[in-house]
Chains A and B, each alone.
Chain A
Amino acid sequence: MAMVRTPLMFARLPIGGRRLLFGLAITGICLAVAFPVLWLILTSLRPESGVYYVHRGTEFTLASYAEVLLDERLIQAFVNSALISTLATIFSLLVTVSSGYMLSRFRGPAAQTWFGTIYVFRCVPYISWVLPLYFVAQSWGIYDTYIGLLLPHIAVHICFFSWLMKGFFDGIDPSMEHAALIDGCTRWGAFIRVALPSAIPAISALAVLCWLFTWNEFLFALILTGNKVPVITVVMAQFVTEMGLRWNLMAATAVMALVPAFLLALFGQKYVIRGLRI
């Protein structure tokens, strides 16, 4: 749609004026969208005494970051979040790529049933299965353990990602796989050596999304862990109630939690944009 015409109300302005207006509007929008994050960064750089008047005063300090970095529980939470996000990404992709491939390449009752199941479970609110998962995890002895937090994080993306992977594989012409089968390749060979390499852009997009979703997830850890497996979102939410008055520390922690997500998104953006063009 390269041919969008300039709205009529600007048509009478000279080209330069139109550009200026457009530039101003764009800058304004960007500032409005980014403002909460900028404000958070600014708050995190203020000293303890100046935090209540962020908009006034000019002293800045990194002391809040230093204090956060000395807090063992927070460091533990960062490590846990990173570990669980990475493992969950690897395993979710392993599981959903094949499931999406099946949905895309086969018709018939089995594929239809699986698709229906996925759609229904995609709608189920997290609380409806995570709340009772609390008793299940306790009776299986995985409450408040890494594995007990990791597995639900893998399970949660099965529906959505299988569905997205189906879309990606639908866009890949299966004739190469047919050719491979005729040449004596097994079905697994055709899937792994022929279909999978052409799905790499989509897989990269899902990897970025999965890591971000897991890093940002809150409810699972809130319900399924106690004190032994702190993750960053839960620790921060506890901050709000326990350290409600120390906004500089909270802001510093939040900024540190944003950094890995930003870096990943910055490098992964092009994969996501390319991969989501279903």
Chain B
Amino acid sequence: MTPARRPMFGEQQRFMLLLIAPAALLLGLFQVVPIVIGANASFRDWALYNPKKTWVGLDHYKAVITDPAFLEVVLPNTFIFMVASVIGALTLGLGLALLLNRPFRGQKIVQTVLMVPLMVAPVIAAIMMRWMFNDQFGIVNAVLEGLGLEGQPWLVERWSAFGIIVLTDVWLWTPWFTLLLLAGLQSLPKEPFEAAAIDGTSAWRVFSHLTLPMLQPVIVVCVVIRAIDAFRTFDIVWTLTGGGPGRSTELFSLYAYVLAFLNLDLGRGSAAAIVGGLIILVVGIGLYRLVDRVTKT
């Protein structure tokens, strides 16, 4: 804002600082301070039975990045989950947004129904799925058996359990994409579409040559936000499988949690939390560059 009169020196700076002071203070106390203390803990033997909290240097980091469970299970799981759940929710969300972006009778009701998963807590969604996919009493197996097929022990095998985790996440987050993409669709200019309609362009060409390119900035922003959030998914895994069978469906957040609070090794848990934080930071900065480039062109 250009000041109307030349302000007293520092007046504008004071106003700016006061505006962000409460937010900065909270951010400092509840995110920066814990991260610093966690970094300190990650270099120490910070277990309950060791009151001295001996300095161990990089031992915890070495242990984490050479842990086969981390390298071969947790990291691949986390990235597969991220990609699968974002692609699933984006595709479905875009489809539903296109569907809702035309007037039809009952559109308001349909829109409300499609937004339902947005209100459901991930923990509740996981409970619902766990119940539906219960191997003895779940409706999914009941239907399969009704069709003459065999029921599956869904949550007892690695990839079916993993698939259910992805399915739950896609169910939860599709409306989020629908909502933002629908808002994006409705703010697109009308003229190009009218011109295409006059030329008799096919629906697919309109979609791939007009809608998709014009919607690209919104899509990229949605994907980046969601991908970063998918990396930290915890609730649904915890409630659906607890990381099992064995540790085969653990994602990064659960891995750090298990180290710190179930194995009671707070030092190594902190190291794992920092390793994961650094990984997503690199990914996040890369994605930010992408957003910057897409929104500027």
Inter-chain contact B34/A132, CB cutoff 8 Å: yes
Q: Of B99, B130, B197, B206, which is within 8 A of A240 by CB?
A: B130
Q: Of B11, B24, B121, B186, which is within 8 A of A215 by CB?
A: B121
Inter-chain contact B113/A125, CB cutoff 8 Å: no
Known: A40-B128, A154-B26, A218-B123. Is A131-B116 also a contact (CB below 8 A)? no
Which one of B34, B110, B202, B234 has the greatest number of beta carbons of chain A within 10 Å?
B34
Inter-chain contact A33/B31, CB cutoff 8 Å: no
Stretch at the interface among B57-65, B67-75, B266-274: B266-274
Inter-chain contact B196/A3, CB cutoff 8 Å: yes
Q: How far is the CA of A199 from the CA of B1 in the complex (A)?
A: 17
B156 at the interface (CB under 8 A from A): no
Inter-chain contact B30/A188, CB cutoff 8 Å: no
A102 at the interface (CB under 8 A from B): yes
Q: Chain A residue with minimal CB distance to B96?
A: A29
Which residues of A have CB within 8 Å of B190? 1-3
Inter-chain contact A155/B132, CB cutoff 8 Å: no
Known: A257-B124, A262-B119, A269-B115. Is A124-B23 also a contact (CB below 8 A)? no
* Mask of A250-278 contacts with B, CB within 8 angstroms, 1/0: 11001001100110111001001100111
Stretch at the interface among A57-65, A66-74, A90-98: A90-98
Q: How far is the CA of A171 from the CA of B153 in the complex (A)?
A: 52
Which residues of A have CB within 8 Å of B124? 40, 216, 233, 236, 254, 257-258
- The A interface is mostly helix, strand or loop, or mixed, namely helix
Closest Cβ of chain A: how far from B126's Cβ, in Å? 8
B27 at the interface (CB under 8 A from A): yes
Q: How far is the CA of A126 from the CA of B38 in the complex (A)?
A: 13
Interface residues on B, range: 35 or more
Which residues of B have CB within 8 Å of A151? 26, 29-30
* Mask of A115-127 contacts with B, CB within 8 angstroms, 1/0: 0010111111111
B171 at the interface (CB under 8 A from A): yes
Q: In residues 1-41 of chain B, which contact A (Cβ within 8 Å)?
A: 1-4, 11-13, 15-20, 22-24, 26-27, 29-31, 33-35, 37-38, 41
Beyond the given pairs A98-B23, A106-B16, 6 more chain A to chain B contacts, judged by CB atoms under 8 angstroms and listed by A's residue number, are A3-B194, A5-B197, A55-B139, A131-B266, A174-B1, A223-B257
**12 A–B contact pairs at CB < 8 A?**
A5-B203, A26-B104, A33-B171, A33-B174, A123-B284, A124-B281, A128-B274, A128-B276, A155-B27, A158-B23, A181-B4, A223-B261
Binding site for A on B (CB under 8 A): 1-4, 11-13, 15-20, 22-24, 26-27, 29-31, 33-35, 37-38, 41, 96, 98-99, 101-104, 106, 110, 112-125, 127-132, 136-137, 139, 142, 171, 174, 179-180, 182-183, 185-188, 190, 193-194, 196-197, 201-204, 206, 211, 228, 231-232, 234-235, 238-239, 252-253, 256-257, 260-261, 266, 269-270, 273-274, 276-277, 280-281, 283-285, 288
Binding site for B on A (CB under 8 A): 1-8, 22, 26, 29-30, 33-34, 36-37, 39-40, 43, 51-55, 94-96, 98-99, 101-102, 105-106, 110-111, 114, 117, 119-136, 151-152, 154-156, 158-159, 162, 174, 177-178, 181-182, 187-188, 191, 212, 215-216, 218-219, 222-223, 233, 236-237, 239-240, 247, 250-251, 254, 257-258, 261-262, 264-266, 269, 272-273, 276-278
